[in-house]
A and B are shown apart, each in its own frame.
Chain A
Amino acid sequence: MPRRIERAAVVSAVALLAEIVAVDVLSSSHPGNPSMLFPTIDFAVFFLVVFTGSWLLRPHKIAWRWFILAASCVFYGWWDWNYLMLLFLSIGINWFLGLAVFRTLTPEGGRTNASRWLVRIAVVVNLGILGYFKYFDFFVSTITEKMHSIGISVDAPILNIVLPIGISFFTFQAISYVIDIGRGQWRKPLTLLDFAVYLSFFAHLVAGPIVRASEFAPQLDEEPDPRYVRSAESFMLIFRGMFKKVVISSFLATQIVDPVFANPNAYGPLAVLMAIYAYAIQIYADFSGYTDIAIGIALLLGIRFPQNFDSPYIALTLQDFWNRWHMTLSRWLRDYLYIPLGGNRGSKAMMYRNLFLVMIIGGLWHGANWTFVVWGAIHGSYLVAERIVREKWKGHELGLPPLLVKAMQWFLVFNVVCLAWVFFRATSVDEAFTLLGRLFASHGSTAGVSMLLLVVIAASIASQFVPTRFPQKAEVWFATWAPALQIAALAAGLVMVDALGPEGIAPFIYFQF
């Protein structure tokens, strides 16, 4: 029963997490205020220094590692130097636990009782730190309110904890590292320096993608040829990310999403519907935009990150949606939660339970609020329903043209995803229902709804259906341009993004998770 203890560890950690958040009734995310956002001059200067230093030092493996670690510390410390200590703490604890787990394995890499306990400790410690920063204040305030409601006066401390940016991301990466060692998948633990570079690497530090040590560490030992840097793909990724974040996401947020979600009662069905669709595009543009920039930046330094988005809004099933949306989180949840819980093994009821539970936990990962639980529950329920329907209808034909069936499937999945986003975006479940109720209102403002808005929403959805070979061909073609032409194109692109974007750039949505 090699998996039993590990499964127990995961379940106990999940139970702890669930216990922490079970009493949470109010929203409390404290969005961080990263000073060095990617689309800023500060970051541009920082990156030029790092790019130059990185390629100069690449042949000197140890010096390069120290340089990258220092750069990552500057990047993270720019936001708040105090939280660097937290990052170091996470690095130290997880590296030590990873080493300890490795040493307790059998010579063949088999698990022992000690290794299982150490993995358990690592999971609990990591989730404990995450839980403290994410859930403590609301846990305390909710308990205090409950006590007040039954006549017991408690003067509990509210610490006004500010959520360190990226903590959810680097914590998940750290957990995956220790668990992988415990599973015997890593036959050689990383050195402290390598692990520090892996966990703190600035390109994925604050909002992913969630890169695994097995993907990152081997690249540390490689020596990429500086003559063959994938410039065209990087430039395209960075430009596309900036456009999505600075222009599309910001436009949709200020034009309709923020006003309608802030005060749904003032708006009528059309504006509310457009706000819901616009938010679906906004969160995609924001998060995938960030990921595009992160992947592009890492690629310029010779590091390849895994893909994180693959046109998620073209999905015909919700299962397919999760194969395309935040792919690195999806596979993390699959490998470190779904499979340890039993996965597809066992009865169908257990499989459905596992699916549902994973989505609930995935929701809670985003924050301590019932809105995220509902978001996870919608996804979990639909995923379960999808499997049941698929099995029941296996071999049955509707007698409709295949294209129409596909269109109906797409429409259904897209709208279910949008429905779930309403809860994701709303401050409370009540507010989400208020907003949904306005879809059936007989009156209300249509402010914010414009032809431009409709075009942006429609074009954003349509762009997902463009086959990937087209942008790939464009990249290859761009790479053949004379450098002067590339310079002109990049400069014009930067100016256009700046001109089309708002004054100032809101932090990326996913920084707060």
Chain B
Amino acid sequence: MSPQPKSSGDKSPFNWRSLFASFRPRREGTMPAGMILVVIVLAFCVAGLLDADSTLRKSNAKGDGIRNEIAKTVASVTDALHINFFRNSIDDALGKNQGTEIDVEELLRQQAEAETAAAAEAAKKVPELTAPTPAEPMKIWVGGDSITQTFGTSFQRITQSTGIFTPTLDYHVSTGLSRPDYFNWPEHLVKNVLPANPAILVIMFGANDGQNMVDANNKVLERYSEPWMTEYRRRVAATMDLLKSPDNQRITIWCGPPPMGPGTKTHGMDQLNYIYWSEAQTRPWIQYFDTWPFFSDSNGVFAANLPNADGVVRGMRQKDNVHLSTVGGDRLSWAVIDRIGKLVNLSAGNVTPPPTQGPPPSVVERTEIPPNMPGAE
């Protein structure tokens, strides 16, 4: 016998069987507040169980303490009961969160084993690349997170206009080195970028990396804590090592992120810059490029509007005070090309920036990056 339908005017105590009977509200479209509470709580619980893996990923990235512990517990329960099948099937169908197929440490070990003594010796010097010409242009790859979207598009257009480069742009929004579960940059570089054999890579990360990380032991590391810094440094170093070419014929221009403006939650960029810069010091094939002075005032503080070489002040950033404007992308592109010109002979191409696009000559990279700059952002 089916349970009697419960109407909205019924004041009888709550009965679990009423959850399964069709509902006959006395007033169309209504439900008692108590039943609504039950519906909402149970819907959240069911959704929480079905979505446990996704919640854990997000919690690992930004959560802390008790919330992360709860997320872990729920995820382990759903994993054991295979309740996460529903959500994971959707993810599979959408091609999301596919995980990684490579072991960076193993790859580096193989790389080290295969490296000859001569190659190891050669790698102690900055690679000497053949000067590009219009007849034999240089393959150059630019990639990174969403900041690279504007910068990279400018860079692609400008390098193309020089006549001596064949550029490739490859940015992925919301990515970095903190969340390989979301996008695995080392894997992408090894599988998709390096096989094309670009002579120069221009790479920028960091803006999305200020979030918690999970280390190899599945331990959540609070962002910018000492263990976090250690783990991040390890990832940076490993990525840099992956970019070394066996014949020392590849240079990577590793661009640190610029300062972020007020009203954004992206901060600590110069702490990351210190890691990039210091790791690059021992790797001649990695050339750290300091974007900071190109997007800050004379005090090293974020500036949305800055003069280019022609003295005209222009907006360098988008409204969010994070991403570069087209003008900012152009400015950085010419600065990076100038830096490449110090490593490779670019005289065969048109690499002189128009004053309307290039930075003033007075703006130069810092000679060294301080370990941190409190109050700089």
Taking Cβ atoms with an 8 Å cutoff, the residues of A that contact B are 26-33, 41, 44, 48, 51-52, 55, 141, 145, 160-163, 226-233, 254, 258-259, 262-266, 300, 427-428, 431, 434, 475-476, 479-484, 486-488, 490-492, 494-496, 498-500, 502-504, 512
B18-33 to A contact mask, C-beta < 8 Å, 1/0:
1111111111111111
* 13 A/B residue pairs, CB under 8 Å, sorted by A: A26-B315, A32-B263, A226-B32, A226-B33, A227-B9, A228-B30, A229-B30, A263-B153, A482-B19, A483-B19, A487-B39, A491-B44, A499-B51
| Chain A nearest CB, measured from B76 CB (Å) | 18
- Among the 9-residue stretches B85-93, B137-145, B287-295, B368-376, the one with 4 or more Cβ atoms under 8 Å from chain A is B85-93
Q: Contact at B51–A227, with CB atoms within 8 Å?
A: no
Q: Contact at A498–B173, with CB atoms within 8 Å?
A: no
Query: Contact check: which of A29, A487, A495 meets B86 at CB < 8 Å?
Result: A495
| Chain B nearest CB, measured from A164 CB (Å) | 10
Residue on B nearest A254 in the bound complex, by CB:
B173
- Among B29, B46, B146, max chain A CB count under 10 A is at B29
Given A483-B39, A484-B20, 8 further pairs, Cβ under 8 A: A161-B262, A228-B25, A231-B35, A431-B326, A480-B23, A487-B43, A491-B43, A495-B90
Q: Contact at B174–A491, with CB atoms within 8 Å?
A: no
Residue on A nearest B3 in the bound complex, by CB:
A482
Q: Contact at A427–B30, with CB atoms within 8 Å?
A: no
Q: Contact at B313–A262, with CB atoms within 8 Å?
A: no
Q: Contact at A499–B40, with CB atoms within 8 Å?
A: no
Residue on B nearest A54 in the bound complex, by CB:
B33
B329: Cβ under 8 A from any A Cβ: yes
Query: Contact check: which of A162, A230, A266, A427 meets B157 at CB < 8 Å?
Result: A266
Residues in B neighbouring A480, C-beta threshold 8 A: 22-25
Q: Measured between alpha carbons, how far is A259 from B329 in the docked complex, in Å? A: 13
| Chain B nearest CB, measured from A55 CB (Å) | 4
Q: Measured between alpha carbons, how far is A384 from B65 in the docked complex, in Å? A: 59
Contacts A30-B321, A262-B150, A487-B39; A163 near B263 (Cβ below 8 A): yes
B265-285 to A contact mask, C-beta < 8 Å, 1/0:
100000000000000000000
Residues in A neighbouring B20, C-beta threshold 8 A: 482-484
B364: Cβ under 8 A from any A Cβ: no
Q: Contact at B319–A503, with CB atoms within 8 Å?
A: no
Residue on A nearest B24 in the bound complex, by CB:
A480
Q: Measured between alpha carbons, how far is A67 from B324 in the docked complex, in Å? A: 44
B96: Cβ under 8 A from any A Cβ: yes
| Chain B nearest CB, measured from A439 CB (Å) | 17
Q: Measured between alpha carbons, how far is A230 from B30 in the docked complex, in Å? A: 4
Residue on B nearest A229 in the bound complex, by CB:
B33
Q: Contact at B8–A483, with CB atoms within 8 Å?
A: no
Q: Contact at B18–A483, with CB atoms within 8 Å?
A: yes
Q: Contact at A227–B174, with CB atoms within 8 Å?
A: no
B38-60 to A contact mask, C-beta < 8 Å, 1/0:
11111110110011001101100
B195: Cβ under 8 A from any A Cβ: no
Contacts A266-B157, A480-B24; A498 near B54 (Cβ below 8 A): yes
| Chain A nearest CB, measured from B207 CB (Å) | 13
Q: Contact at B182–A33, with CB atoms within 8 Å?
A: no
B184: Cβ under 8 A from any A Cβ: no
Contacts A29-B319, A32-B263, A483-B18; A488 near B46 (Cβ below 8 A): yes
In the A-B complex, list the 5 residue pairs whose CB atoms are closest, starting with the nearest: A30-B263, A491-B46, A490-B43, A231-B31, A494-B47
Residues in B neighbouring A300, C-beta threshold 8 A: 36
Q: Contact at B90–A503, with CB atoms within 8 Å?
A: no
Q: Measured between alpha carbons, how far is A228 from B34 in the docked complex, in Å? A: 10
Contacts A44-B44, A483-B35; A162 near B262 (Cβ below 8 A): yes
Q: Contact at B25–A51, with CB atoms within 8 Å?
A: no
Q: Measured between alpha carbons, how far is A490 from B29 in the docked complex, in Å? A: 16
Q: Contact at A162–B150, with CB atoms within 8 Å?
A: no
Q: Contact at B33–A479, with CB atoms within 8 Å?
A: no
Residues in B neighbouring A264, C-beta threshold 8 A: 326
Query: Contact check: which of A33, A52, A228, A486 meets B37 at CB < 8 Å?
Result: A52
Contacts A26-B315, A28-B304, A228-B30; A483 near B23 (Cβ below 8 A): yes
Q: Contact at B19–A499, with CB atoms within 8 Å?
A: no
Query: Contact check: which of A32, A259, A265, A427 meets B315 at CB < 8 Å?
Result: A427
Residues in A neighbouring B146, C-beta threshold 8 A: 258
Residue on A nearest B86 in the bound complex, by CB:
A495
Residues in B neighbouring A145, C-beta threshold 8 A: 313
Q: Contact at B24–A500, with CB atoms within 8 Å?
A: no
Q: Contact at B149–A479, with CB atoms within 8 Å?
A: no
Q: Contact at A495–B87, with CB atoms within 8 Å?
A: yes
Query: Contact check: which of B32, B58, B323 meets A227 at CB < 8 Å?
Result: B32
B162: Cβ under 8 A from any A Cβ: no
Q: Contact at B39–A263, with CB atoms within 8 Å?
A: no
Q: Measured between alpha carbons, how far is A266 from B153 in the docked complex, in Å? A: 7
- Among B173, B305, B319, B325, max chain A CB count under 10 A is at B319
Q: Measured between alpha carbons, how far is A434 from B35 in the docked complex, in Å? A: 55
Query: Contact check: which of A434, A492, A499, A502 meets B174 at CB < 8 Å?
Result: A502
- Among B8, B24, B57, B329, max chain A CB count under 10 A is at B8
Query: Contact check: which of B149, B174, B262 meets A262 at CB < 8 Å?
Result: B149
Q: Contact at A479–B326, with CB atoms within 8 Å?
A: no
Residues in B neighbouring A41, C-beta threshold 8 A: 55
Q: Measured between alpha carbons, how far is A258 from B39 in the docked complex, in Å? A: 38
Residues in B neighbouring A491, C-beta threshold 8 A: 42-44, 46-47, 50
B125-163 residues with Cβ-Cβ distance < 8 A to A are 146, 149-150, 153-154, 156-157
Q: Contact at A476–B28, with CB atoms within 8 Å?
A: yes
Q: Measured between alpha carbons, how far is A55 from B37 in the docked complex, in Å? A: 10
Residue on A nearest B208 in the bound complex, by CB:
A504
| Chain A nearest CB, measured from B296 CB (Å) | 13
Q: Measured between alpha carbons, how far is A41 from B32 in the docked complex, in Å? A: 24
| Chain A nearest CB, measured from B212 CB (Å) | 13
Q: Contact at A226–B29, with CB atoms within 8 Å?
A: no
Residues in B neighbouring A483, C-beta threshold 8 A: 18-20, 23, 31, 35, 38-39
| Chain B nearest CB, measured from A493 CB (Å) | 8
Q: Contact at A262–B323, with CB atoms within 8 Å?
A: yes
B94: Cβ under 8 A from any A Cβ: yes
Residues in A neighbouring B55, C-beta threshold 8 A: 41
Residues in A neighbouring B321, C-beta threshold 8 A: 30-31
| Chain A nearest CB, measured from B1 CB (Å) | 16
Contacts A226-B33, A265-B326, A495-B87; A231 near B39 (Cβ below 8 A): yes
Q: Measured between alpha carbons, how far is A141 from B263 in the docked complex, in Å? A: 18
B2-25 residues with Cβ-Cβ distance < 8 A to A are 8-9, 18-25
Q: Measured between alpha carbons, how far is A278 from B20 in the docked complex, in Å? A: 42
Q: Measured between alpha carbons, how far is A491 from B149 in the docked complex, in Å? A: 36
| Chain A nearest CB, measured from B160 CB (Å) | 11
Residues in B neighbouring A44, C-beta threshold 8 A: 44
Contacts A163-B263, A229-B32, A265-B326; A494 near B43 (Cβ below 8 A): yes
Q: Measured between alpha carbons, how far is A145 from B312 in the docked complex, in Å? A: 10
| Chain A nearest CB, measured from B35 CB (Å) | 6
| Chain A nearest CB, measured from B73 CB (Å) | 15
Q: Measured between alpha carbons, how far is A312 from B103 in the docked complex, in Å? A: 52
Q: Contact at A33–B265, with CB atoms within 8 Å?
A: yes
Residues in B neighbouring A427, C-beta threshold 8 A: 315, 318-319, 325
Residue on A nearest B5 in the bound complex, by CB:
A482
Q: Measured between alpha carbons, how far is A492 from B50 in the docked complex, in Å? A: 8
Q: Measured between alpha carbons, how far is A307 from B39 in the docked complex, in Å? A: 26
Query: Contact check: which of B46, B149, B319 meets A31 at CB < 8 Å?
Result: B319
Q: Contact at B150–A263, with CB atoms within 8 Å?
A: yes
Q: Measured between alpha carbons, how far is A68 from B40 in the docked complex, in Å? A: 20
B261: Cβ under 8 A from any A Cβ: yes
Query: Contact check: which of B51, B154, B304 meets A263 at CB < 8 Å?
Result: B154
Q: Contact at A499–B87, with CB atoms within 8 Å?
A: yes
| Chain A nearest CB, measured from B64 CB (Å) | 13
Q: Contact at B326–A263, with CB atoms within 8 Å?
A: yes
Contacts A228-B8, A479-B25, A483-B35; A141 near B43 (Cβ below 8 A): no
Query: Contact check: which of A161, A486, A499 meets B54 at CB < 8 Å?
Result: A499
Q: Contact at B21–A482, with CB atoms within 8 Å?
A: yes
Residues in A neighbouring B96, C-beta threshold 8 A: 499
